[in-house]
Amino acid sequence: MSRVIDRPLGVAALVVAAGVLLSGPIGMGLAMLHPQPPWVDAATFAARFHPVQQAPFWFGFVLIFGCAFFVARAAALSGEALRTRAAGALVATAAFVAMIATNYTLQVAFVPAAARVHDPSLALFSMANPRSIAWALEMFGYGVFGVATWLIAPAFRAGRFGRTTAWLLVANGVVSVVAAALTSVDLAWLLGPIGLLSFAVWNVLLFAVAILVAVAHLGRSPRAPDGPAL
């Protein structure tokens, strides 16, 4: 991969960057137009529910697609020596997509429907509840994606911004796996100060990776002295 300017990989990185911004600061900003109070119970949530509160999850599908596209393309470009790691990254990414897409489907389809009829079971699935099943799916899903970024990191070690990109991918893996492990101890830890800091660090890491890869692979292709770009 290091000798190739691969535009599909660059495009995938841009989609990841867009997904981080849309599902993070932009989506959360839209949700704050009709904010929920701190979680009390399902009845309070239903009374204050507004569809715009689900904006981060709708945008989250962009992030899911971008991450899957990014890892799949990086795996396709990996050399023979990295085939096993690339295959492992694909398997981990598939698990990530299944877990997170299930969670976001619950958020944008089941939770609004349950809120409209004041179904108390929404407490089990809404991410407004810090102890809902949704948080377990979210944190372990992104933990699995962290494994994928760690596995695929060596494919980026050379080339423009290569070493920095590889280290950031490994760091993302460490942060994601540690966050998932902490969730098994305290499901609600992410909504505390340390959890919010971890969320911000994760977003910065993934956004930085996406921008570095986009710049490296959407720039001018290097040309060999006697022929087309490698």
**Dihedral sign, CA of 75, 149, 208, 224?**
negative
Q: How many CA atoms lie within 13 A of 118 on its CB side?
A: 4
DSSP 110: I
Q: Three-class SS of residue 229?
A: strand
Q: What is the pLDDT, as a whole number, of residue 128?
A: 94
Q: What is the pLDDT, as a whole number, of residue 225?
A: 40
CA 12 – CA 190 distance, rounded (Å): 28
Burial of 71 (0-12, 13-18, 19+ CB in 10 A): buried
This prediction's pTM: 0.89
Q: What is the pLDDT, as a whole number, of residue 79?
A: 87
Q: What is the pLDDT, as a whole number, of residue 220?
A: 61
Task: Output Rg (C-alpha) for the chain, integer angstroms.
Answer: 19
209: closest CA among 4, 5, 19, 3? 19
112: closest CA among 96, 98, 128, 131? 128
**Phi/psi of residue 229, each to 5°?**
-60, 145
Give the model confidence (pLDDT) of 210-229 as tens digits: 999 999 998 765 443 433 33
70: closest CA among 22, 17, 141, 25? 17
Q: Going residue by residue through the chain (230 aa), what tens digit of pLDDT does each one get?
A: 545 788 999 999 999 999 999 999 999 999 999 999 999 999 999 999 999 999 999 999 999 999 999 999 999 999 889 999 999 999 999 999 999 999 999 999 999 999 999 999 999 999 999 999 999 999 999 999 999 999 999 999 877 788 999 999 999 999 999 999 999 888 878 777 787 788 888 899 999 999 999 999 987 654 434 333 32
| DSSP letters for 18-40 | HHHHIIIIIHHHHHTTSPPPSP-
Helix 7-21 and helix 55-77: axis angle, to 10°? Answer: 160
Query: Phi-psi category of 159—alpha, beta or left, where left has phi over 0 and alpha has psi -120 to 50?
Result: left
CA 218 – CA 121 distance, rounded (Å): 47
